[in-house]
Amino acid sequence: MTNTMAYEIGAALDYLDACITGLPAYTETVADAYGHGRIARGQSTLLLLLISGAARETDATPREIIQRMREEYGGAI
């Protein structure tokens, strides 16, 4: 993992942690400090890593996990 990728994942985790605390001012502070683009890239990378990890733990492929997520959380798009 590159330093940039690790930094972006760290930014995403800090942002998610801020969201979980429920403090909007803290969330905005984190977003302003890292930049929305860096947080978005980190979240995308983190999601891909989580999907790959889930696939290793089950008999499903990453594509099947994405389909399940689409059905469960995607709504009517």
- Digitized pLDDT (tens) for each residue of the chain, 77 residues in all: 678 999 999 999 999 999 999 888 889 999 999 999 999 999 999 999 999 999 999 999 999 999 999 999 987 55
Q: How many other C-beta atoms are found inside a 10 Å radius of the C-beta of residue 47?
A: 13
Q: Which pLDDT score is estimated for 77?
A: 56
Q: Which pLDDT score is estimated for 23?
A: 83
Look up the pTM and report it. 0.79
Distance CA 9, CA 43 (A): 7
Q: Cα separations (Å) of 15 from 22, 51, 62, 70?
A: 11, 19, 25, 23
What is the maximum alpha-carbon separation in the chain? Answer: 41
Q: Write down the domain spans for the chain.
A: 3-73
